[in-house]
Amino acid sequence: MMGFLWFWLVAVMIVGYVVLDGFDLGVGVLHLFLAHTEAERRATLHSIGPVWDGNEVWLLAGGGTLYFAFPLLYASAFSGFYLPLMIVLWLLVLRGVTLELRNHLDMGVWRGLLDGVFGLASALLTIFFGAALANVLRGVPLQPDGYFFLPLWTNWRTGVNPGILDWYTVIGGLVALVALTLHGALWLTIKVSGGLEQRARKIVTPLWLLLIVLTIVSLIATIAVRPATLNNYFSYPVTFIVPVGVIVSLAAIWFLNRKGQAVKAFIASCLYLFFMLAGACWGVYPTLLPATTGTQNDITLTRALSGPHTLAVGLAWWIFGMTLALAYIIFVYTRFRGKADAHAESHE
């Protein structure tokens, strides 16, 4: 029971991070292309300025939760994925540094460089996060001792000894890039005004069409790479509500955006991300990290779970911490509701 509970608590942390930090990654990707003037670029950055650093706390909290709930998974994944984790760390640093420095350098050349680095770092982060999830679904070359090593790429094929990047994980990265860019565009329709808002609303439709194609392709590719992801769905047919939720949320994004109901369209995007991630988690459960070297090397829920005392104490602290986090989120998002002012003081 505790294993089941902690599996989904970690999943909640991941979903919370993707939904909350996902839109400011998407804004980072878009701000170079949608904003035509310095005032519009400031407006896009002000739309995420009060919340972007708070959103990233969910990533740290997820890592901490993983550490005490599933220490074997934490040790295996954080060593095997050492290279991409270092890349992600530097990309997060670059995003923070460029946002902070931008307001202190009043020279156009430097601002242009910082904007470019911020946009590139945001795009690469979405790709790496999508590729990371695809690595988990595909599996990694786990050894009997629970450890593995992955190069950045090998021959771009899946198999017993794949790389971090192959044809399947690239598809996962593209799905994340388009989904989170769309998520960011929907956030901008809520937070900015004028021509910038209109351009954000118009770009939703082409991104939405591309996302539909990539979602279908990723589903087919996942079934081809790991057919076992369907086992839980056939064992519990009621859970087919998850792919139905993906379809309904995608349809709602297009319909609500067309009707100009920006907040509801953004919520539909949140639901799409939720159903996609929940579907992936359910597809691998109760395996936490599949092995390409044979199911006997899989890191499973029972194999990786901490002791009962650790989990009981951790649950009490998790509830306390999440209560504080939710209170903070409610305060910040209500305190800074409304349209972003391009000429206001920065909250970055």
Helix (H, G, I), strand (E, B) or coil at 291: strand
At residue 288, the 3 state secondary structure works out as strand
Instruction: Report the distance separating Cα 317 and Cα 325, nearest Å.
Output: 12
Rounded mean pLDDT of 65-91? 89
Question: Can the peptide bond before residue 141 be classed as cis, meaning omega within 30 degrees of 0?
Answer: no
Structure confidence at residue 80 (pLDDT)? 87
Least confident of 114-123, 321-330, 331-340: 331-340
Distance between CA atoms of residues 83 and 129, nearest Å: 13
Which of 101-115, 123-137, 174-188 is predicted least confidently?
101-115
Q: Which long-range contacts (CB under 8 A, 24 or more apart) does 86-91 make?
A: 87/124, 87/128, 88/125, 88/128, 88/129, 91/121, 91/124, 91/125, 91/128
pLDDT of residue 82: 87
Q: What is the pTM of this model?
A: 0.92
What pLDDT was estimated at residue 53?
79
pLDDT, position 288: 92
Give residue-wise pLDDT tens across range 130-183: 999 999 999 999 998 888 988 888 888 888 889 899 999 999 999 999 999 999
User: Tokens for 73?
Assistant: 């998974």
Host H or E run for residue 287: strand 287-289
The residues with which 165 forms a beta bridge, in sequence order, are 153
DSSP secondary structure, 296-340, as one string: GG-EEHHHH---HHHHHHHHHHHHHHHHHHHHHHHHHHHHT-SPP
Task: To the nearest 10°, report the CA torsion of 101, 103, 108, 112.
Answer: 50
pLDDT score recorded for residue 346: 44
Count of helix runs (H) and strand runs (E) in the chain: 13, 2
Q: What integer is the mean pLDDT of 249-262?
A: 95
Q: What gap in Å lies between CA 300 and CA 337, rounded to an integer?
A: 43
Helix%, strand%, coil% for the chain, nearest 5: 80, 5, 20
